[in-house]
Chain A
């Protein structure tokens, strides 16, 4: 069955960087688009980033554009989120999610269990 396992969360100081990784299994990773989504009690669910099945296209939410970068390695079945210039309001549970489509951002068919990122001094 589909499994998505995030790793890399933790505590980081404001202005710092963190790289999240998501390991996928149970499906043909290379033919599905992938996303990162985060959740906080205050702001709820927030879509962050999308990457096409072959890595040829990426989209970002305005709130993270220029600071976060999504990438994938289809040989290792992983999708990463590089997060730079972190701020306190980036504190959240971060999920990777598998899209229902290869090409375009559609709905989130499967989700990982999430990893907590805390930005604090």
Chain B
């Protein structure tokens, strides 16, 4: 099984900040990695797929980078709607998720 480790587990930030979340895979997943946003009581929603491709309708302040075993989700100019929990997911071999990063208001 491919394990995904996200860091940090919690991130405190202010509106307008630029924040980054890291996802490390236990083995190479090439660029088969997606990022999701989840708000309390709601299902996750995809933001980024294939490591760096923006899903249709997702604001351009979200960006993804990386390949192999290390990936980053960056949110530029954090907006009030962005305070949520973020998950990475690999789909190189079946699927697995990272443990999540909660972005909270400082």
A residues touching B (Cβ–Cβ < 8 Å)?
35, 37, 44-47, 50, 59, 61-62, 95, 100, 105-109, 111-114
Total number of A-B contacts with CB less than 8 angstroms?
A: 50
Give every chain A residue within 8 A of B36 (Cβ-Cβ).
108
Interchain Cβ contacts under 8 Å between A and B, 10 examples? A37-B95, A44-B87, A44-B97, A44-B98, A45-B89, A59-B94, A95-B43, A108-B34, A111-B43, A113-B43
Residues of A within 8 A of B46 (CB): 107-109
Docked-complex contact A62 and B97, CB < 8 angstroms: no
A107 in contact with B44 given A45-B87, A45-B97 (CB within 8 Å):
no
- Among residues of B, the one whose C-beta sits closest to the C-beta of A93 is B43
Q: Which DSSP category, helix, strand, loop or mixed, fits chain A's interface?
A: strand
Interface string of B1-38 (1 = CB under 8 A from A): 10000000000000000000000000000001010100
Cβ of A100: which chain B residues have Cβ within 8 Å of it? 49
Given A108-B89, A112-B43, A114-B43, CB of A35 within 8 Å of CB of B1: no
Q: In angstroms, how far is the closest chain A Cβ from the Cβ of B18?
A: 25
Known: A44-B98, A108-B95, A113-B43. 6 other contacts (CB 8 A): A44-B99, A45-B87, A61-B94, A95-B43, A108-B36, A111-B45
Query: How far, in whole Å, are A59 and B95 apart by their CA atoms in the complex?
Result: 10
Q: Which residues of B contact A (CB under 8 A)?
A: 1, 32, 34, 36, 42-46, 49, 55, 87, 89, 91, 94-100
Of chain B, the residue at the smallest CB distance from A6 is: B43
Asked, given contacts A107-B89, A108-B89, whether A47 binds B45 with beta carbons under 8 Å apart, the answer is no
Are A62 and B1 in contact, CB atoms less than 8 angstroms apart?
yes
Closest chain A residue, CB of each to CB of B95: A47
Residue pair B91, A106 in contact (C-beta under 8 Å): yes
Is there an interface contact between A47 and B34, defined as CB atoms closer than 8 Å?
Answer: no
Inter-chain CA distance A105–B29, complex, in Å, is 13
> In the complex, what's the smallest C-beta–C-beta distance from A96 to chain B, in angstroms?
10
